Amino acid sequence: MKNGEKAWLVLFTCAVFRCVHLDYVTSLSTETFLNALERFINTRQRPDTVYGDNGTNVVGLVNLFHKVNWHTVAAAACIR
């Protein structure tokens, strides 16, 4: 960028409809990628399957999801 900061594009593609969705991020952190994925889901729909490269941000997100107690999340979602 002109001010010296780095920027990246997150590329989401659809194998069925050949759609492309680009998202602009300023960091390669797991939290930034999770925010980009959330924006994608809010703009489009929740995908059935997500494939990613073995980048540290994607691997960190997978590790984070393995720590989540999904039974508690499902129970909390049913209460609302």
| pTM for the whole structure | 0.72
Residue 54 lies in a domain: yes
Cα separation of 58 and 31, whole Å? Answer: 10
As for how many domains the chain has, the answer is: 1
Give me the domain span that covers residue 67. 8-79
Question: CA angle at residue 33 from 1 to 6, to 5 degrees?
Answer: 15
Residue 1 lies in a domain: no
Structural contact between residues 28 and 57, judged by C-beta atoms closer than 8 angstroms: yes
Residue 3 lies in a domain: no
Residue 2 lies in a domain: no
Residue 12 lies in a domain: yes
pLDDT, averaged per 10 consecutive residues of the chain (80 residues), comes to 87 89 91 92 88 82 87 78
Looking at residue 41, its pLDDT comes to: 92
Residue 40 lies in a domain: yes
